[in-house]
Structure 1
Amino acid sequence: MYKLRGHHLFCLLGYRGMGYSQEYVENMTLLHQTLRSNPKTLIMLVKGPDQLCEKFPNSGEYHCQDDHIFERDAVILDKMNLTIGQILRWEEIESHILKHVIPADIQVVCETCSWRSYGVCEEGIREIHEGKGLRKIQ
Protein backbone atom coordinates (compact mmCIF):
# COMPACT_ATOMS: atom_id res chain seq x y z
CA MET A 1 0.00 0.00 0.00
CA TYR A 2 1.20 3.49 -0.88
CA LYS A 3 0.49 6.61 1.16
CA LEU A 4 -0.32 9.66 -0.95
CA ARG A 5 -1.43 13.20 -0.27
CA GLY A 6 -4.18 14.91 -2.26
CA HIS A 7 -2.28 16.86 -4.89
CA HIS A 8 -0.05 13.93 -5.79
CA LEU A 9 -3.13 12.19 -7.20
CA PHE A 10 -3.13 14.85 -9.92
CA CYS A 11 0.68 14.88 -10.25
CA LEU A 12 0.61 11.19 -11.13
CA LEU A 13 -1.80 11.91 -14.00
CA GLY A 14 0.58 14.44 -15.50
CA TYR A 15 3.82 12.64 -14.73
CA ARG A 16 6.08 12.35 -17.77
CA GLY A 17 9.40 11.35 -16.21
CA MET A 18 10.49 14.79 -15.03
CA GLY A 19 11.11 15.82 -11.43
CA TYR A 20 13.14 17.65 -8.85
CA SER A 21 16.11 15.23 -8.73
CA GLN A 22 17.16 11.85 -10.07
CA GLU A 23 16.16 10.16 -6.81
CA TYR A 24 12.74 11.84 -6.92
CA VAL A 25 12.22 10.80 -10.55
CA GLU A 26 13.17 7.18 -9.81
CA ASN A 27 10.73 7.06 -6.89
CA MET A 28 7.90 8.70 -8.84
CA THR A 29 8.51 6.48 -11.88
CA LEU A 30 8.37 3.33 -9.74
CA LEU A 31 5.07 4.39 -8.17
CA HIS A 32 3.62 5.51 -11.51
CA GLN A 33 4.57 2.25 -13.25
CA THR A 34 3.19 0.21 -10.35
CA LEU A 35 -0.18 1.98 -10.53
CA ARG A 36 -0.25 1.77 -14.32
CA SER A 37 0.46 -1.96 -14.39
CA ASN A 38 -1.64 -2.82 -11.34
CA PRO A 39 -4.59 -0.42 -10.90
CA LYS A 40 -5.77 -2.51 -7.95
CA THR A 41 -2.82 -1.21 -5.90
CA LEU A 42 -4.04 0.23 -2.60
CA ILE A 43 -3.57 3.90 -1.78
CA MET A 44 -4.07 5.44 1.67
CA LEU A 45 -4.85 9.15 1.52
CA VAL A 46 -2.76 11.05 4.06
CA LYS A 47 -2.46 14.58 5.37
CA GLY A 48 0.96 16.03 4.75
CA PRO A 49 4.18 14.52 3.43
CA ASP A 50 3.84 11.13 1.78
CA GLN A 51 6.04 8.55 0.07
CA LEU A 52 6.79 10.91 -2.82
CA CYS A 53 7.77 13.73 -0.46
CA GLU A 54 10.31 11.39 1.14
CA LYS A 55 12.49 11.75 -1.97
CA PHE A 56 12.07 15.51 -2.42
CA PRO A 57 15.62 16.90 -2.59
CA ASN A 58 17.02 18.69 0.43
CA SER A 59 18.08 21.73 -1.58
CA GLY A 60 16.45 24.66 0.16
CA GLU A 61 12.80 25.23 1.00
CA TYR A 62 10.96 21.98 1.65
CA HIS A 63 7.66 22.80 -0.03
CA CYS A 64 6.02 19.57 1.18
CA GLN A 65 5.27 21.31 4.52
CA ASP A 66 4.10 24.58 2.93
CA ASP A 67 0.62 25.75 3.96
CA HIS A 68 -0.33 26.33 0.30
CA ILE A 69 0.44 22.68 -0.48
CA PHE A 70 -1.77 21.52 2.40
CA GLU A 71 -4.53 23.77 1.04
CA ARG A 72 -4.11 22.31 -2.46
CA ASP A 73 -4.32 18.78 -1.02
CA ALA A 74 -7.57 19.62 0.78
CA VAL A 75 -9.15 21.30 -2.27
CA ILE A 76 -8.29 18.36 -4.51
CA LEU A 77 -9.60 15.75 -2.08
CA ASP A 78 -12.79 17.77 -1.62
CA LYS A 79 -13.16 18.13 -5.40
CA MET A 80 -12.82 14.36 -5.79
CA ASN A 81 -15.17 13.60 -2.87
CA LEU A 82 -12.37 11.81 -0.97
CA THR A 83 -11.14 12.12 2.62
CA ILE A 84 -7.88 11.71 4.51
CA GLY A 85 -7.55 8.21 5.90
CA GLN A 86 -9.49 6.55 3.09
CA ILE A 87 -7.92 3.48 1.51
CA LEU A 88 -8.82 2.91 -2.14
CA ARG A 89 -7.52 1.02 -5.12
CA TRP A 90 -5.91 3.25 -7.77
CA GLU A 91 -8.70 2.31 -10.18
CA GLU A 92 -11.21 3.71 -7.68
CA ILE A 93 -9.26 6.97 -7.57
CA GLU A 94 -9.41 7.10 -11.37
CA SER A 95 -13.18 6.56 -11.10
CA HIS A 96 -13.45 9.55 -8.73
CA ILE A 97 -11.46 11.62 -11.23
CA LEU A 98 -13.80 10.57 -14.01
CA LYS A 99 -16.89 11.50 -11.96
CA HIS A 100 -15.71 14.73 -10.32
CA VAL A 101 -12.85 16.32 -12.28
CA ILE A 102 -12.51 17.95 -15.68
CA PRO A 103 -9.25 19.08 -17.31
CA ALA A 104 -10.01 22.78 -16.77
CA ASP A 105 -10.06 22.20 -12.99
CA ILE A 106 -6.25 22.14 -13.08
CA GLN A 107 -6.21 25.85 -13.94
CA VAL A 108 -8.04 26.61 -10.69
CA VAL A 109 -6.95 24.06 -8.08
CA CYS A 110 -3.32 23.99 -9.25
CA GLU A 111 -3.09 27.68 -10.12
CA THR A 112 0.22 28.23 -8.31
CA CYS A 113 1.90 24.95 -9.32
CA SER A 114 5.09 25.40 -11.33
CA TRP A 115 4.29 22.30 -13.41
CA ARG A 116 0.85 23.58 -14.52
CA SER A 117 2.20 25.45 -17.54
CA TYR A 118 3.30 22.19 -19.19
CA GLY A 119 -0.36 21.16 -19.64
CA VAL A 120 0.41 17.53 -18.84
CA CYS A 121 -1.95 17.24 -15.86
CA GLU A 122 -4.90 18.43 -17.95
CA GLU A 123 -3.85 15.94 -20.61
CA GLY A 124 -3.72 13.21 -17.96
CA ILE A 125 -7.27 14.00 -16.84
CA ARG A 126 -8.43 13.89 -20.47
CA GLU A 127 -6.82 10.48 -20.84
CA ILE A 128 -8.66 9.21 -17.74
CA HIS A 129 -11.91 10.45 -19.32
CA GLU A 130 -10.96 8.59 -22.51
CA GLY A 131 -10.43 5.37 -20.51
CA LYS A 132 -6.68 5.25 -21.18
CA GLY A 133 -5.47 5.28 -17.58
CA LEU A 134 -1.97 6.44 -16.71
CA ARG A 135 0.30 7.15 -19.65
CA LYS A 136 3.33 4.95 -20.29
CA ILE A 137 6.57 6.73 -19.34
CA GLN A 138 8.99 6.76 -22.26
Structure 2
Amino acid sequence: MYRLRGHHIFCLLGYRGMGYSKEYAENMTRLYQTLRVNPETFVQLVNGPDQLCEKYPNNGEYHCQDTNIYERDAVILEKIGLKIGQVLRWKDIELHIQKSVIPSDIQTICETCSWRSYGYCEEGIQLIVNGQGLKKIE
Protein backbone atom coordinates (compact mmCIF):
# COMPACT_ATOMS: atom_id res chain seq x y z
CA MET A 1 0.00 0.00 0.00
CA TYR A 2 1.19 3.49 -0.84
CA ARG A 3 0.62 6.67 1.16
CA LEU A 4 -0.39 9.70 -0.94
CA ARG A 5 -1.33 13.24 -0.08
CA GLY A 6 -4.09 14.98 -2.00
CA HIS A 7 -2.18 17.00 -4.56
CA HIS A 8 0.05 14.09 -5.53
CA ILE A 9 -3.02 12.41 -7.00
CA PHE A 10 -3.11 15.14 -9.65
CA CYS A 11 0.70 15.14 -9.97
CA LEU A 12 0.58 11.46 -10.86
CA LEU A 13 -1.96 12.10 -13.62
CA GLY A 14 0.43 14.50 -15.31
CA TYR A 15 3.66 12.66 -14.53
CA ARG A 16 5.86 12.14 -17.59
CA GLY A 17 9.16 11.05 -16.05
CA MET A 18 10.45 14.41 -14.86
CA GLY A 19 11.04 15.44 -11.26
CA TYR A 20 12.89 17.67 -8.83
CA SER A 21 15.90 15.34 -8.83
CA LYS A 22 16.97 11.99 -10.25
CA GLU A 23 16.11 10.23 -6.98
CA TYR A 24 12.70 11.93 -6.81
CA ALA A 25 11.87 10.99 -10.41
CA GLU A 26 12.97 7.37 -9.89
CA ASN A 27 10.75 7.10 -6.80
CA MET A 28 7.79 8.66 -8.58
CA THR A 29 8.31 6.45 -11.63
CA ARG A 30 8.19 3.32 -9.42
CA LEU A 31 4.93 4.43 -7.83
CA TYR A 32 3.45 5.57 -11.16
CA GLN A 33 4.30 2.31 -12.93
CA THR A 34 2.86 0.26 -10.07
CA LEU A 35 -0.43 2.14 -10.21
CA ARG A 36 -0.54 2.08 -14.02
CA VAL A 37 0.13 -1.65 -14.31
CA ASN A 38 -1.86 -2.67 -11.23
CA PRO A 39 -4.75 -0.26 -10.56
CA GLU A 40 -5.89 -2.64 -7.79
CA THR A 41 -3.01 -1.27 -5.67
CA PHE A 42 -4.21 0.21 -2.39
CA VAL A 43 -3.53 3.85 -1.56
CA GLN A 44 -3.99 5.50 1.82
CA LEU A 45 -4.74 9.23 1.72
CA VAL A 46 -2.58 11.07 4.24
CA ASN A 47 -2.31 14.56 5.67
CA GLY A 48 1.11 15.95 4.90
CA PRO A 49 4.30 14.38 3.58
CA ASP A 50 3.91 11.02 1.85
CA GLN A 51 6.13 8.51 0.09
CA LEU A 52 6.84 10.93 -2.74
CA CYS A 53 7.87 13.68 -0.31
CA GLU A 54 10.42 11.28 1.20
CA LYS A 55 12.59 11.74 -1.89
CA TYR A 56 12.11 15.49 -2.29
CA PRO A 57 15.63 16.94 -2.60
CA ASN A 58 17.13 18.48 0.51
CA ASN A 59 18.43 21.61 -1.17
CA GLY A 60 16.76 24.44 0.70
CA GLU A 61 13.09 25.05 1.45
CA TYR A 62 11.18 21.83 2.06
CA HIS A 63 8.01 22.68 0.18
CA CYS A 64 6.23 19.51 1.36
CA GLN A 65 5.42 21.28 4.66
CA ASP A 66 4.31 24.55 3.01
CA THR A 67 0.86 25.81 4.04
CA ASN A 68 -0.10 26.31 0.38
CA ILE A 69 0.60 22.64 -0.35
CA TYR A 70 -1.66 21.53 2.52
CA GLU A 71 -4.37 23.82 1.14
CA ARG A 72 -3.99 22.31 -2.36
CA ASP A 73 -4.20 18.81 -0.84
CA ALA A 74 -7.49 19.72 0.84
CA VAL A 75 -8.98 21.36 -2.27
CA ILE A 76 -8.15 18.36 -4.45
CA LEU A 77 -9.51 15.80 -1.99
CA GLU A 78 -12.70 17.83 -1.59
CA LYS A 79 -13.03 18.18 -5.38
CA ILE A 80 -12.83 14.42 -5.90
CA GLY A 81 -14.94 13.57 -2.85
CA LEU A 82 -12.28 11.82 -0.78
CA LYS A 83 -11.00 12.26 2.78
CA ILE A 84 -7.72 11.92 4.63
CA GLY A 85 -7.37 8.46 6.14
CA GLN A 86 -9.32 6.63 3.45
CA VAL A 87 -7.78 3.52 1.92
CA LEU A 88 -8.86 2.85 -1.67
CA ARG A 89 -7.68 1.04 -4.73
CA TRP A 90 -6.08 3.34 -7.32
CA LYS A 91 -8.81 2.41 -9.80
CA ASP A 92 -11.42 3.69 -7.33
CA ILE A 93 -9.56 7.00 -7.06
CA GLU A 94 -9.66 7.17 -10.87
CA LEU A 95 -13.44 6.65 -10.75
CA HIS A 96 -13.78 9.58 -8.35
CA ILE A 97 -11.73 11.70 -10.74
CA GLN A 98 -13.87 10.65 -13.72
CA LYS A 99 -17.02 11.81 -11.93
CA SER A 100 -15.80 15.12 -10.57
CA VAL A 101 -12.89 16.64 -12.50
CA ILE A 102 -12.42 18.21 -15.91
CA PRO A 103 -9.05 19.14 -17.41
CA SER A 104 -9.58 22.89 -17.03
CA ASP A 105 -9.84 22.46 -13.23
CA ILE A 106 -6.02 22.33 -13.23
CA GLN A 107 -5.89 26.02 -14.21
CA THR A 108 -7.42 27.09 -10.89
CA ILE A 109 -6.67 24.27 -8.46
CA CYS A 110 -3.00 24.07 -9.44
CA GLU A 111 -2.60 27.72 -10.46
CA THR A 112 0.71 28.23 -8.63
CA CYS A 113 2.31 24.88 -9.53
CA SER A 114 5.54 25.22 -11.50
CA TRP A 115 4.77 22.04 -13.49
CA ARG A 116 1.37 23.29 -14.75
CA SER A 117 2.83 25.07 -17.79
CA TYR A 118 3.70 21.73 -19.44
CA GLY A 119 0.00 20.86 -19.94
CA TYR A 120 0.57 17.24 -18.94
CA CYS A 121 -1.87 17.35 -16.04
CA GLU A 122 -4.79 18.39 -18.22
CA GLU A 123 -3.87 15.60 -20.64
CA GLY A 124 -3.67 13.12 -17.75
CA ILE A 125 -7.08 14.12 -16.43
CA GLN A 126 -8.58 13.75 -19.89
CA LEU A 127 -7.17 10.21 -20.12
CA ILE A 128 -8.75 9.31 -16.78
CA VAL A 129 -12.07 10.94 -17.77
CA ASN A 130 -11.97 8.84 -20.96
CA GLY A 131 -11.38 5.69 -18.86
CA GLN A 132 -7.88 5.15 -20.30
CA GLY A 133 -5.93 5.17 -17.03
CA LEU A 134 -2.43 6.48 -16.54
CA LYS A 135 -0.43 7.14 -19.71
CA LYS A 136 2.49 4.84 -20.51
CA ILE A 137 5.74 6.74 -19.98
CA GLU A 138 7.92 6.49 -23.07
Aligned to 1:25: 25
CA distance in 2, matches of 1:15, 1:21: 14
Structure 1: which 5+ residue stretches go unaligned?
Answer: none
The question of 1:94 aligning with 2:94 is answered yes
Segments ≥4 residues shifted beyond 3 Å: none
Q: Secondary structure at the match of 2:3?
A: strand
Q: Which amino acid aligns with 1:67?
A: T
Matches within 5 A, 1:65-84: 65-84=65-84
**How many equivalent residue pairs?**
138
TM-score by length of 1: 0.99
User: Residues 1-138 of structure 1: matches in 2 within 5 Å?
Assistant: 1-138=1-138
- Percent identity among equivalent residues? 72
Q: CA RMSD in A?
A: 0.4
Q: Note the alpha carbon deviations across 1:59-88, whole angstroms, 9 max, x for none.
A: 111000000000000000000000000000
Q: What's the TM-score once normalised by structure 2's chain length? A: 0.99
Q: Distance in 1 between matches of 2:57 and 2:7?
A: 18
The separation in 2 between residues aligned to 1:70 and 1:27, in whole angstroms, is 21
